[in-house]
């Protein structure tokens, strides 16, 4: 057992210094493909500048310096390819139509390809950092959580993961705006999904950015086939099928029209006012390397394209289909005893669709791909526990508010037993109007009332309450004034003051 543990510690996954925040197929594009292109570029460059990429057959009267000049000239000025069983055209323009233009630029082509494959990675890192959630640090923490044995360290790492994810969810909920939370039509949702109208407010920012980057990798892989076809010519996008056909037919691999080894070169030498025209036959040794490199590249680009299409559809299914998202989270919740599938089925659905949303499910899946399911299970269950606590506190606050509201219904009775000279007794019962029931505001992830709406409603309620109180006060003063005025021996001055007070209040 100890031997197995030591061998696992020597694995590449433990020795690597790369920081992952994407899937394995993505790393095939931006890491391995980029590395392959750079290695090929170094190999070809070494052969070109440290070796002898071309060797031309020259007339016997040529001195060694003439021969070196011919090799250099034909390497720079391009050569042209005509099959050995065909005659050379007499027209110089017909020969130039067969020029081979690429072999001097192969290292630069390979480096440019490496940059194109790495560019979506730059876009992904730039845009996902803007979300406020550092996915690289989260993945590193999840990997360290598996490797650390001390309980205190594991607890601190898990707290770091939970706090960052929950902070992102809370910040997203607080930034929700009124026009975002409206019920959108199907057409508007379609444009949001396919024209990248995303934001942290929607809870799908990371998902949309990730799909955008995956499309960039897919388009890049397919476009490079046609880019190489434009640069190399001769229907390069069909080159792999020709190789497969020859392999199945057991044909001998000799001369290839895409990467010819034997070419021709025309040049002129001026001697004492006379121009001498020469046509020499050259061997392009560098094309031995170029042919192998671009055969490998053709199959690699096709494989990368197919893998990217499959991975894109798989992530699209996992991150956009509600049933699949709920199933993924419930599968991890079912491992722990704190989840009751029958009683909490609807609550779990609310937890996934309204609390975690697309970004939360995406982050947990990304952690599952790059670390392990056990870490993700622990994260989801802790988030689930906190969600239930918030939901329980909200339910209890609603109940307390209802009890307080019932106890605070105030019915005021004003009894005025006033004895008048005629002996009559009048009783006036004035009842305070019942205020409208105002439920407490819900958390932003449990309802669709925005923060601004709550402020406006509060102001309206305050204004209504003030107006209602003033009307009640006016009624009481008027009734008291009427009763006092009917008294026979009342001072006229007091009656006048009371009447003026009633007018001012009214």
Q: List the domain boundaries for the chain.
A: 20-131+229-304, 137-199+321-408, 412-506
What secondary structure letter does DSSP report for 442?
A: P
Cα–Cα distance for residue pair 375/158, rounded to 1 Å:
9
Q: For position 121, what pLDDT does the model report? A: 94
Query: pLDDT tens digits for 270-311?
Result: 877 788 888 899 999 898 889 999 999 999 999 999 999 999
Of 114-128, 148-162, 315-329, which gets the smallest average pLDDT? 148-162
- For the segment 459-485, the average pLDDT, to the nearest whole number, is 54
> Each residue of 69-80: pLDDT tens digit?
999 999 988 888
Q: What is the pLDDT of residue 471?
A: 56
Q: 353 with 445: CB under 8 angstroms?
A: no
Phi, psi of 446 (to 5 degrees): -110, -5
For residues 485-504, give the mean pLDDT. Answer: 47
Total number of residues shown for the chain: 506
Q: Is a pLDDT exceeding 80 seen at residue 316?
A: yes
Question: H helices of 130-176, where?
Answer: 135-147, 151-174
- The mean pLDDT value of the chain amounts to 75
The upper half-sphere exposure of residue 287, i.e. CA atoms within 13 Å in the direction of its Cβ, equals 23
Given a contact cutoff of 8 angstroms between Cβ atoms, the answer to whether 498 and 479 are in contact is no
The Cβ-side half-sphere exposure at 29, using a 13 Å CA radius, reads 31
Predicted pLDDT at 499: 47
**pLDDT band (50, 70, 90) for residue 215:** very high
For the record, the structure tokens of 370 come out as 């790059």
| Residue 348, token pair as written in the block | 């779990």
d(CA 40, CA 108): 11
Question: 210 with 315: CB under 8 angstroms?
Answer: yes
Q: Which two tokens stand for residue 195?
A: 């024209």
* Residue 498: per-residue pLDDT: 45
- pLDDT computed for residue 399 by the predictor: 58
pLDDT surpasses 70 at 354: yes
For residue 277, what is the enclosing H or E element? strand 274-284
Q: Give the pLDDT of residue 277.
A: 87
Residue 147 has pLDDT above 90, yes or no: no
User: Of 413, 366, 424, nearest to 136 (Cα)?
Assistant: 366
Between 237 and 26, the more confident residue is 26
What's the DSSP call for residue 447?
S
Task: Tell me: pLDDT of 21 over 70.
Answer: yes
Where is mean pLDDT largest: 76-90, 180-194, 335-349? 76-90
Nearest partner of 377 among 204, 162, 173, judged by Cα? 162
Cβ atoms 363, 138 nearer than 8 A: yes
Average pLDDT over residues 312-324: 92
Q: Decide if pLDDT at 40 tops 90.
A: yes
Return the residue matching tokens 């008294």. 487
CA quadruple 452, 455, 458, 462: dihedral sign: negative
Query: Could you give the C-alpha distances from 45 to 52, 54, 289, 405, 473, in angstroms and in order?
Result: 11, 14, 11, 83, 96
How high is the pLDDT of residue 173? Answer: 55
354 to 204, 350, 369, 382, 445: CA distances (angstroms): 12, 5, 23, 17, 6
pTM of the model: 0.69
* Per-residue model confidence as pLDDT tens digits over 362-400: 999 999 999 888 899 999 999 998 888 887 876 776 655
Model confidence at 447, pLDDT cuts 50, 70, 90, reads very low
Give the sign of the dihedral formed by CA 333, CA 334, CA 336, CA 339. Answer: positive
- Position 14 scores a pLDDT of 44
pLDDT of residue 428 exceeding 50, the answer is no
User: At which residue do the structure tokens 């999840």 appear?
Assistant: 142
Taking 80 as the threshold, does the pLDDT of residue 454 lie above it?
A: no
Position 304 scores a pLDDT of 94
φ, ψ of residue 156 in degrees (nearest 5): -65, -40
Q: Is residue 504 pLDDT above 80, yes or no? A: no
Q: And the tokens for 362?
A: 């995406």
Q: Are 430 and 479 contacting, i.e. CB atoms less than 8 angstroms apart?
A: yes
Residue 423 CB contacts under 8 Å (≥ 6 apart), including other chains: none
User: CB–CB of 226/298 below 8 Å?
Assistant: no
Q: Burial level of 185, CB count in 10 A (0-12/13-18/19+)? A: exposed
Q: How far apart are CA 260 and CA 242, in angstroms?
A: 15
């Amino acid at each position: 057992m100890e031997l197995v543990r030591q061998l696992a510690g020597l694995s590449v996954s433990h020795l690597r210094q790369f920081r992952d925040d994407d899937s394995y197929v993505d790393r095939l594009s931006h890491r391995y493909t980029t590395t392959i292109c750079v290695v090929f570029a170094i190999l070809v460059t070494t052969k070109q500048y440290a070796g002898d990429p071309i060797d031309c057959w020259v007339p016997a009267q040529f001195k060694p310096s003439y021969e070196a000049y011919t090799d250099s000239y034909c390497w720079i000025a391009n050569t042209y390819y005509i099959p050995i069983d065909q005659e050379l055209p007499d027209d110089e323009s017909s020969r130039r139509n067969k020029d081979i233009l690429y072999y001097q630029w192969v290292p630069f082509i390979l480096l440019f390809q490496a940059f194109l494959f790495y560019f979506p990675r730059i876009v992904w890192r730039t845009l996902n950092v803007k979300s406020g959630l550092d996915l690289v640090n989260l993945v590193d923490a999840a990997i360290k959580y598996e490797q650390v044995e001390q309980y205190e360290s594991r607890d601190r790492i898990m707290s770091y993961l939970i706090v960052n994810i929950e902070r992102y969810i809370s910040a997203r909920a607080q930034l929700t705006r009124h026009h975002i939370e409206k019920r959108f039509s199907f057409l508007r949702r379609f444009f949001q999904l396919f024209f990248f109208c995303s934001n942290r407010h929607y809870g799908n920012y990371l998902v949309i950015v990730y799909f955008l980057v995956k499309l960039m990798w897919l388009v890049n892989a397919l476009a490079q086939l046609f880019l190489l076809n434009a640069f190399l010519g001769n229907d390069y996008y069909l080159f792999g099928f020709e190789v497969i056909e020859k392999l199945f037919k057991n044909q001998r691999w000799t001369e290839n029209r895409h990467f010819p080894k034997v070419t021709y070169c025309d040049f002129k030498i001026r001697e004492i006012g006379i121009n001498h025209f020469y046509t020499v036959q050259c061997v392009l040794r560098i094309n031995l390397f170029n042919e192998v490199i671009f055969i490998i590249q053709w199959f690699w680009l096709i494989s990368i394209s197919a893998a990217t299409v499959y991975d894109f559809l798989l992530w699209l299914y996992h991150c956009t289909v509600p049933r699949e998202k709920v199933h993924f989270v419930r599968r991890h919740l079912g491992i722990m005893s704190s989840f009751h599938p029958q009683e909490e089925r609807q609550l779990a659905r609310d937890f996934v669709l309204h609390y975690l949303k697309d970004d939360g499910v995406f982050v947990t899946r990304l952690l599952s791909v790059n670390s392990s399911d056990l870490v993700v299970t622990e994260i989801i269950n802790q988030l689930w526990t906190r969600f239930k606590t918030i939901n329980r506190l909200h339910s209890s606050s609603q109940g307390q508010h209802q009890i307080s509201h019932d106890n605070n219904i105030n019915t005021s009775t004003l009894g005025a037993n006033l004895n008048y000279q005629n002996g009559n007794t009048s009783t006036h019962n004035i009842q305070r109007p019942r205020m409208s029931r105002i439920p407490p505001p819900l958390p932003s992830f449990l309802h669709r009332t925005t923060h601004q709406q709550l402020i406006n409603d509060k102001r309206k309620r305050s204004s209504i309450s003030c107006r209602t109180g003033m009307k009640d006060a006016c009624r009481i003063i008027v009734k008291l004034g009427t009763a006092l005025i009917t008294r026979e021996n009342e001072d006229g001055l007091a009656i006048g003051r009371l009447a003026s007070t009633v007018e001012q209040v009214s």
